[in-house]
């Protein structure tokens, strides 16, 4: 959904209501309406994400296009949130309780989200590498007739692909610390196509000991739904936006290779079900969490739909190349099956080719947006409370 | 093509035709400026023709036997290396070229057999599969050889010789001003780093001798459709080499959270290091990497720039992220110079970046650079403003003992003395800040002889900073109860300000008029001091009736006593005051001496009749000498010590 869409409807509704309402406290009334609209939009957007059909591969949960939609919605919600917070009639509100506590906490969360964005951007480099390996598999197996040569070529790329995807999070941070050797141990060679060790696993452009899971866990610190009277004020959009931010970062980390993700599924979102807008987020959280639990034990590069397809087809094709090597030849039927699988593998490759760079750019956009809002909020706090001690 | 395949020709005539065609293809293939597609077609054609020739030669049926023989030969050459622990390219150029020849031969046979295999000839198919198998072994081997060559002949270069490390003097802003010392003026060694950097500095990341080897491997892998394997191997090794170099520079990966929490001294050194690493990475390393990619992969369309982007992207983003983190951090005044360093470095590198990442896929990186530059500029301006705020809000509860040069003054002046080095950047950033204001304020003050420098935005801001400082110093002077000490304090401080301006490039921005005005100002304070301190003392020595010859003895005694007490009092207080500048101290003593000693001598001279009396406590010489003790910074007393 393009940003202009919601803006038009957002503003439209405001003007209509303005004409209708003759309230005693116009400002407060207006604010309540804005808040209501905000949570309505949040709820609508995430409901759309939740209802993504699994059978339509293009829009499947955690596919590249789904993630892009998620980020789009994040940007929309963020813009709306900022509007409510900063363009209110009384800017000094943000320096009064409870916001004087909630805003710094929110900013702290924002900074943590930035590091997640960077880790994920870095993880996309690995995904890019998987794509290239899968493309080699496709191009080896689409040749006809399939012979031992192509089968071996495919197998070599598949071995790299599958081992790269199975590198568990811890290993990839440890591998970096020691100097990798490119040796192929040429003596006593048994396999014909040696795959170098640690062939470009997740390269670690993230701080040592940084953990994605812990980072997200830390983002949920102090994140509690506003209670009592706070629930009707600005505390509630701060809370809503926080939950959205944590969820989006959590989903990105689940989907894309990242450093240290142990315990990701255990992260609990303190979003009560009775809040309308939260229901779809909770639904998504449960759905993705289940998926993650299934994969976590085995060790996975991530839940990105395209990557999972790659993994599945990769394993099938690996079996095929194994049996090819074992039997020396293959029946026509098997060869056709393999060709069909290879063609199927070409599909996620194509979507990665089209989507990865835009996704990376969008994550960067999210990054810049978070930075910008943070700066604006800090400036606003600075303006309002010149006398209070400066905030980081 | 079908014509070629439609059967194995047996006529002599065909042989000639094929030979002629082969000749033409070879000749065409030798042409240099061929497009990749065309070259590929020619290579294909070439292998078809060799196949046909071999078939014709062998009179039809025996063709395959010949093909098999050729394959056997190639296979022996290729497979023998599979059991050899040595790497081929390490073994010598002959071995390498033999190997490449065998690979080439196998490739031709594969292509040829593929062209012929329409005929469902079982034997033919078998040979094709065998050939392709051998071919895969060779390709896999070439990939290994490539990685081996890149790793073995990869070269690291010493960054030390590249750019001097400490480009500018480190100044640490300390809120408490305790550690701020008045450092002697050390002119920085390398003023403008862009001078020695303008020349492209390219090194061989991989030894130049092996570039042809890598190229030959690239050539054969790309023509055989193994380009993706080549790229992945090449990118992997080079990417890792860059990462290693990155850590070799001592640059580490820091999370944004870490940067925001970092202590200033640590952050300051990291900012310095960033500036330094950024230059080396972009201008030397990446420029060299780009050259390597072009050398090896030039002529293969966008492959070179694709590989370059994949190799460098992660490291670049990492460097950019540190910049973003710094720009996000609290805008403390002490950050200003470091931020300006970073800004200038980046601005300076933009052209390089735009060239390195000129392709469409690289525009993402370009954009990130431009965004960061903007952010750093904003951050520098914010730090600049914070600097001013810090100056005007620096408050004191107690008067600064002795009335000497206040640490705030020292700090500010030593800090802004660095500004002229950044004047281009500061002008650029400040101009956008206050459009119009600068024009208004500067011109009327500085009349017709306004030089370009005194009317630039930085000059305006510099003067506004010092006037901020001056008013703060005035505020601080009010803390002294003694009016004379207020003047000493202001005299000292304004004198210091002027000296700092005169003694550095700042004078160009402040202008002569400003200096004249401020010279007059501290001189005024000196005069005010004299009046405040000495008028009352000297008034004892004044002749109230200029007409009469002398005063009565009792009046003389009374005057003498009054003078002594007042003088001793001044002596006691003002020996503890301080005038750090020796010249200024000397000047003030002389002018005081002129006034006081002269008056005293006249007074005594006019009343010579009484001077032997005990009531004359101090001789003229004594007064003159005592005046030398003033402003020494430690309190003394005259009362109990009669020195003669």
Percent of chain A clearing pLDDT 70 (strictly above): 78
> Tens of pLDDT along B618-632?
888 899 999 988 998
**What is residue A187's predicted lDDT score, i.e. its pLDDT?**
39
* Interface touch A148/B225, C-beta < 8 Å: no
Residue B543 DSSP one-character state: -
Q: How would residue A3 be classed by pLDDT, with cut points 50, 70 and 90?
A: very low
**Which chain B residues have a beta carbon less than 8 Å from that of A192?**
82, 136-137, 140
Query: What separation in angstroms does the CA of B343 have from each of A212, B320, B326?
Result: 31, 12, 11
Question: B248 in contact with A at a CB cutoff of 8 Å?
Answer: no
What are the extents of the domains in chain A?
59-168+227-387
Q: Nearest-CA neighbor of B88 among B154, B155, B136, B147?
A: B147
Query: Which of A13-27, B264-278, B532-546 has the weakest average pLDDT?
Result: A13-27
User: For residue A216, what are its two tokens?
Assistant: 């997200």
CB atoms closer than 10 angstroms to residue A278: 25
CA distance B384 to B340: 10
8 Å CB contact between B283 and B349: yes
**Which chain A residues have a beta carbon less than 8 Å from that of B315?**
205
User: For residue A240, what are its two tokens?
Assistant: 């809503």
Q: Is the pLDDT of residue B118 over 60?
A: no
The interface predicted TM-score (ipTM) is 0.87
Share in percent of chain B as helix, strand, coil (round to 5)? 75, 0, 25
CA B368-B166-B288 angle, to 5 degrees, is 50
8 Å CB contact between A130 and A165: yes
Task: Please return the burial class of A365, using the count of CB atoms within 10 Å of its CB with bins 0-12, 13-18 and 19+.
Answer: middle
Angle between helix axes B336-356 and B363-393 (nearest 10 degrees) is 170
Question: B385 in contact with A at a CB cutoff of 8 Å?
Answer: no
> Tens of pLDDT along B203-222?
899 999 999 999 999 999 99
Q: Nearest-CA neighbor of A84 among A239, A222, A219, A229?
A: A239
Angle between helix axes A148-166 and A99-141 (nearest 10 degrees) is 170
* Interface touch A196/B310, C-beta < 8 Å: no
Residue B281 DSSP one-character state: I
Q: Nearest-CA neighbor of B623 among B635, B284, B603, B608?
A: B603
**Which chain B residues have a beta carbon less than 8 Å from that of A200?**
232, 235-236, 239-240
Q: Is the pLDDT of residue B613 over 50?
A: yes
**B395-416 average pLDDT score:** 92
CA distance A289 to A271: 15
User: For residue A5, what are its two tokens?
Assistant: 């869409």
CA distance A17 to B633: 75
Question: A372 in contact with B at a CB cutoff of 8 Å?
Answer: no
8 Å CB contact between B229 and B139: yes
CA distance A368 to A360: 12
CA atoms within 13 A on the CB side of B429: 26
> Tens of pLDDT along A184-228?
444 334 456 766 544 444 456 777 788 999 999 999 988 988 888
8 Å CB contact between B392 and B449: no
User: For residue A214, what are its two tokens?
Assistant: 């812990």
**What is residue B546's predicted lDDT score, i.e. its pLDDT?**
60
CA A313-A213-A211 angle, to 5 degrees, is 100
**What is residue B549's predicted lDDT score, i.e. its pLDDT?**
60
* Interface touch A189/B83, C-beta < 8 Å: yes
Residue B545, phi-psi category: left (phi > 0), alpha (psi -120 to 50), beta (remainder): beta
Q: What pTM does this model have?
A: 0.83
Angle between helix axes B93-116 and B211-223 (nearest 10 degrees) is 10
Question: A369 in contact with B at a CB cutoff of 8 Å?
Answer: no
8 Å CB contact between B414 and B171: yes
Average pLDDT, whole number, for chain A? 81
Please spell the DSSP secondary structure of B390-457, one letter per residue: HHHH---SSPPGGG---HHHHHHHHHHTTGGGGHHHHHHHHHHHSTTHHHHHHHHHH-TT--TGGGSH
**What is residue A54's predicted lDDT score, i.e. its pLDDT?**
64
Nearest to A207 among B134, B258, B328 (CB): B258
> Tens of pLDDT along B245-284?
998 888 888 999 999 999 999 999 999 999 999 999 999 9
Q: Nearest-CA neighbor of B50 among B74, B75, B26, B77?
A: B26
8 Å CB contact between A301 and A126: yes
> Tens of pLDDT along B478-491?
999 999 999 999 99
Task: Show Cβ contacts of residue B253 under 8 Å, excluding neighbours closer than 6 positions.
Answer: A204, A205, A206, A207, A208, B318
Distance from CA of A293 to the nearest CA of B (A): 28
> Tens of pLDDT along B571-607?
999 999 999 999 999 999 999 998 999 999 988 888 8
Question: A152 in contact with B at a CB cutoff of 8 Å?
Answer: yes
CB atoms closer than 10 angstroms to residue B226: 25
CB atoms closer than 10 angstroms to residue B644: 6
Distance from CA of B140 to the nearest CA of A (A): 6
Average pLDDT, whole number, for chain B? 83
Task: Show Cβ contacts of residue B297 under 8 Å, excluding neighbours closer than 6 positions.
Answer: B218, B234, B303, B304, B307
**Which chain B residues have a beta carbon less than 8 Å from that of A147?**
128-129, 132-133
> Tens of pLDDT along A338-368?
999 999 999 999 999 999 999 999 999 999 9
CA distance A69 to B17: 62
What are the extents of the domains in chain B?
14-152, 250-393, 403-433+450-530, 541-643
Question: A214 in contact with B at a CB cutoff of 8 Å?
Answer: no
Task: Please return the burial class of B7, using the count of CB atoms within 10 Å of its CB with bins 0-12, 13-18 and 19+.
Answer: exposed
| Residue B305 phi, psi (nearest 5) | -75, -30
Please give the residue that has the higher pLDDT: either B239 or A34.
Answer: B239
> Tens of pLDDT along B291-319?
999 999 998 989 999 999 999 999 999 99
Helix (H, G, I), strand (E, B) or coil at A285: helix
Please give the residue that has the higher pLDDT: either A175 or A57.
Answer: A57
Task: Please return the burial class of A329, using the count of CB atoms within 10 Å of its CB with bins 0-12, 13-18 and 19+.
Answer: exposed
| Residue B206 phi, psi (nearest 5) | -125, 140
**What is residue B451's predicted lDDT score, i.e. its pLDDT?**
67
* Interface touch B135/A149, C-beta < 8 Å: yes
CA distance B72 to A375: 71
Question: A224 in contact with B at a CB cutoff of 8 Å?
Answer: no
Radius of gyration of chain B from Cα atoms? 43
> Tens of pLDDT along B22-73?
667 767 766 767 777 777 777 777 777 766 665 554 444 556 788 889 999 9
Residue given tokens 């049926």 in the structure block: B61
First-to-last CA distance in chain B?
Answer: 127
> Tens of pLDDT along B60-110?
455 678 888 999 999 999 999 998 889 999 999 999 999 999 999 999 888
First-to-last CA distance in chain A?
Answer: 35
User: For residue A299, what are its two tokens?
Assistant: 């060790």
Question: A358 in contact with B at a CB cutoff of 8 Å?
Answer: no
**What is residue A19's predicted lDDT score, i.e. its pLDDT?**
40
* Interface touch A194/B140, C-beta < 8 Å: yes
**Which chain A residues have a beta carbon less than 8 Å from that of B328?**
111, 371, 374-375
Residue B635 DSSP one-character state: -
Distance from CA of A111 to the nearest CA of B (A): 6
Bridge partners of residue B578, in order along the sequence? B632
CA distance A84 to A241: 11
Question: A186 in contact with B at a CB cutoff of 8 Å?
Answer: yes
* Interface touch B144/A114, C-beta < 8 Å: no
8 Å CB contact between A364 and A121: yes
Helix (H, G, I), strand (E, B) or coil at B632: strand
Task: Show Cβ contacts of residue A292 under 8 Å, excluding neighbours closer than 6 positions.
Answer: A254, A264, A265, A303
User: For residue B237, what are its two tokens?
Assistant: 């090794």
Question: B257 in contact with A at a CB cutoff of 8 Å?
Answer: yes
CA distance B357 to B286: 10
Chain A, 126 to 145: residues with Cβ < 8 Å from chain B are 128-129, 132-133, 135-136, 139, 145
Q: Is the pLDDT of residue B422 over 70?
A: yes
Among A181, A182, A392, which would you mutate to test the B interface (most chain B Cβ atoms within 10 Å of its Cβ)?
Answer: A182
CA distance A285 to A278: 10
Task: Show Cβ contacts of residue B182 under 8 Å, excluding neighbours closer than 6 positions.
Answer: B405, B410, B414
Task: Please return the burial class of B585, using the count of CB atoms within 10 Å of its CB with bins 0-12, 13-18 and 19+.
Answer: middle
Helix (H, G, I), strand (E, B) or coil at A87: coil
Please spell the DSSP secondary structure of A228-251, one letter per residue: GGGGGSTHHHHHHHHHHHHHHHHH
8 Å CB contact between B320 and B369: yes
**What is residue A57's predicted lDDT score, i.e. its pLDDT?**
59
Q: Is the pLDDT of residue B3 over 50?
A: no
Q: Nearest-CA neighbor of B114 among B39, B189, B27, B4?
A: B4
8 Å CB contact between B346 and B322: no
CA distance B65 to B58: 8
Question: A25 in contact with B at a CB cutoff of 8 Å?
Answer: no
Question: A166 in contact with B at a CB cutoff of 8 Å?
Answer: no
Report how far Cα B417 is from the mean position of its chain's Cα atoms.
18
8 Å CB contact between A242 and A223: yes
Residue given tokens 């101009």 in the structure block: B431
């Amino acid at each position: 959904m393009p940003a202009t869409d919601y803006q038009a409807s957002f503003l439209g509704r405001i003007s209509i209501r303005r004409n209708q309402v003759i309230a005693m406290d116009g400002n407060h009334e207006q604010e309540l309406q804005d808040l209501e609209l905000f949570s309505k939009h949040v709820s609508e957007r995430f409901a759309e994400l939740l209802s993504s059909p699994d059978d339509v591969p293009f829009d499947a949960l955690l596919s590249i296009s789904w993630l892009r939609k998620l980020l789009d919605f994040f940007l929309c919600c963020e813009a709306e949130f900022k509007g409510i917070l900063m363009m209110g009639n009384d800017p000094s509100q943000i320096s009064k309780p409870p916001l004087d506590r909630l805003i710094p906490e929110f900013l702290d969360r924002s900074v943590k989200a930035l590091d997640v964005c960077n880790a994920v951007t870095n993880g996309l480099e690995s995904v890019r590498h998987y794509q290239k390996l899968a493309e080699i598999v496709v191009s080896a197996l689409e040749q006809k007739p399939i012979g031992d040569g192509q089968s071996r070529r495919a197998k070599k790329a598949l071995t790299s692909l599958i081992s790269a995807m199975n590198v568990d999070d811890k290993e990839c941070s440890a591998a970096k610390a020691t100097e990798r050797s490119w040796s192929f141990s040429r003596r006593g060679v048994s396999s014909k196509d040696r795959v170098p060790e640690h062939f470009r696993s997740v390269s670690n452009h993230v701080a040592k000991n940084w953990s994605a899971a812990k980072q997200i866990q830390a983002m949920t610190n102090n994140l509690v739904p506003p209670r009592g009277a706070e629930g009707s004020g600005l505390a509630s959009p701060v809370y809503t936006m926080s939950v959205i931010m944590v969820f989006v970062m959590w989903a990105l980390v689940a989907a894309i290779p990242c450093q240290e993700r142990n315990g990701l599924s255990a992260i609990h979102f303190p979003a009560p079900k009775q809040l309308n807008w939260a229901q779809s987020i909770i639904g998504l959280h449960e759905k993705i969490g289940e998926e993650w639990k299934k994969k976590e034990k085995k060790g996975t590069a991530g839940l990105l739909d395209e990557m999972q397809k790659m993994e599945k087809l990769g394993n099938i094709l690996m079996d095929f190349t194994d049996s090819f090597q074992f039997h020396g030849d293959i029946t026509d039927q098997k060869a056709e099956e393999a060709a069909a699988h290879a063609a199927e593998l070409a599909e996620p490759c194509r979507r990665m080719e089209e989507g990865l760079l835009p996704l990376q750019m969008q994550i960067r956009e999210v990054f810049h947006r978070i930075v910008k809002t943070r700066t604006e909020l800090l400036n606003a706090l600075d303006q309002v409370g010149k006398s209070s001690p400066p905030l980081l | 093509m079908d014509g070629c395949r439609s059967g194995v020709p047996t006529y002599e005539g065909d042989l000639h035709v094929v030979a002629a065609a082969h000749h033409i293809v070879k000749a065409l293939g030798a042409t240099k400026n061929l497009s990749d597609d065309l070259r590929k077609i020619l290579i294909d054609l070439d292998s078809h023709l060799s196949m046909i020739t071999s078939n014709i030669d062998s009179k039809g049926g025996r063709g395959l036997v010949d093909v098999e023989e050729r394959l056997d030969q190639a296979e022996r050459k290729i497979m023998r290396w599979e059991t050899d622990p040595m790497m081929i390219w390490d073994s010598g150029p002959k071995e390498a070229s033999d190997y490449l020849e065998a690979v080439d031969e196998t490739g031709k046979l594969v292509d040829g057999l593929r062209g012929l295999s329409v005929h469902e000839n079982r034997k033919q198919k078998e040979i094709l599969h065998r050939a392709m198998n051998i071919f895969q072994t060779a390709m896999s081997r070439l990939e290994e050889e490539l990685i081996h060559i890149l790793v073995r002949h990869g070269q690291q270069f010493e960054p030390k010789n590249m750019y001097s490390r400490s480009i500018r003097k480190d100044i640490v802003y300390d809120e408490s001003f305790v550690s701020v010392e008045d450092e002697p003026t050390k002119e920085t060694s390398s003023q403008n780093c862009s001078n020695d950097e303008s020349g492209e500095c390219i090194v061989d990341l991989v030894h130049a001798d092996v570039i042809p080897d890598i190229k030959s491997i690239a050539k054969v892998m790309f023509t055989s459709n193994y380009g993706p394997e080549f790229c992945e191997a090449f990118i992997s090794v080079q990417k890792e080499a860059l990462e290693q170099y990155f850590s070799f520079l001592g640059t580490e990966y820091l999370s944004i959270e870490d940067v925001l929490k970092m202590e200033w001294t640590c952050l300051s050194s990291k900012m310095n290091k960033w500036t330094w690493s950024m230059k080396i990475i972009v201008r030397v390393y990446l420029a060299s990497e780009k050259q390597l990619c072009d050398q090896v992969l030039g002529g293969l369309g966008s492959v070179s720039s694709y590989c370059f982007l994949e190799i460098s992207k992660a490291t670049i983003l990492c460097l950019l992220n540190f910049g973003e983190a710094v720009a996000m951090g609290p805008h403390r005044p002490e950050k200003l110079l470091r931020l300006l360093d970073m800004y200038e470095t980046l601005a300076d590198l933009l052209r390089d970046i735009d060239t390195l990442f000129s392709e469409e896929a690289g525009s993402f990186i370009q954009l990130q650079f431009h965004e960061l530059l903007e952010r750093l500029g904003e951050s520098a301006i914010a730090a600049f403003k914070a600097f001013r705020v810090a100056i005007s809000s620096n408050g004191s509860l107690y008067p600064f003992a002795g009335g000497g040069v206040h640490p705030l003054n020292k700090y500010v002046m030593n800090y802004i003395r660095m500004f002229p080095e950044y004047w281009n950047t500061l002008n650029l950033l400040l101009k956008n800040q206050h459009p119009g204001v600068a024009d208004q304020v500067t011109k009327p003050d500085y009349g017709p002889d306004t030089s370009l420098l005194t009317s630039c935005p930085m000059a305006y801001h510099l003067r506004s900073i010092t006037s901020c400082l001056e008013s703060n110093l005035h505020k601080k002077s009010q803390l002294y109860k003694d009016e004379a000490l207020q003047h000493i304090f202001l005299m000292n401080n304004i004198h210091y300000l002027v000296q700092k301006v005169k003694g550095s490039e700042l004078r160009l921005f402040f202008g002569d008029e400003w200096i004249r005005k401020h010279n007059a100002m501290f001189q005024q304070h000196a005069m005010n001091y004299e009046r405040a301190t000495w008028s009352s003392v000297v008034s004892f020595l004044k002749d109230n009736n200029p007409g009469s010859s002398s005063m009565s003895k009792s009046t003389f005694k009374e005057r003498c006593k009054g003078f002594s007490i007042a003088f001793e009092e001044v002596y006691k207080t003002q020996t503890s005051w301080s005038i750090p500048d020796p010249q200024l101290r000397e000047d003030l003593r002389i002018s005081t001496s002129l006034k006081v000693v002269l008056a005293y001598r006249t007074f005594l001279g006019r009343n010579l009749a009484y001077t032997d009396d005990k009531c004359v406590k101090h001789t003229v010489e004594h007064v003159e000498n005592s005046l030398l003790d003033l402003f020494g910074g430690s309190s003394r007393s005259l009362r109990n010590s009669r020195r003669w």
